[in-house]
Amino acid sequence: MPETGTIRTSLVHLLFGFTGRIGRAAYGLGTVFNVVCPILAGVAAAPTFDAYFNAFAASESSVPIEVAAHLAVMLIGVLVGLLVLMVFVWSILAVHVKRWHDRDKTWLWIFVGLVPLIGPLWLITECGFMPGKARADRFGPAPPPF
């Protein structure tokens, strides 16, 4: 954890670190990043995969090596997609854990979002709108206000 008095919310720590606390503004920045970037990645990758799958479907090749090559490319695409998904899931968890820390609650509160109907509303209300503790607590010093 960075020393007290240093800038604690560097982008890397904000998105991937699980220690410390973040305020509402940093939480909003991290949330926007974790929503917008996967959408942009999907929009950017979609035409490439669509063109590849259409070319594969139109090829009518039954040569086993060509079919295996196409399947290998598809498998690599799926694996890369899963890797990117895992990076964003890690980042979402890191941002939420630090925000719950600012509310003086443990990381286990990330599961409140899984409660049907009420959970997401509770998560948005507490993490997005309610201020954190103004004093230092067991998770570290108070982040900048807002």
- Residues 25 and 64: their CA atoms lie apart, in Å, by 55
Could you report the per-residue pLDDT of 94-113, keeping only the tens digit for each?
A: 999 999 999 999 999 999 99
| pLDDT score for 49 | 75
Domain boundaries, the chain: 11-129
- Residues 24 and 129: their CA atoms lie apart, in Å, by 7
Could you report the per-residue pLDDT of 111-132, keeping only the tens digit for each?
A: 999 999 999 999 999 999 999 9
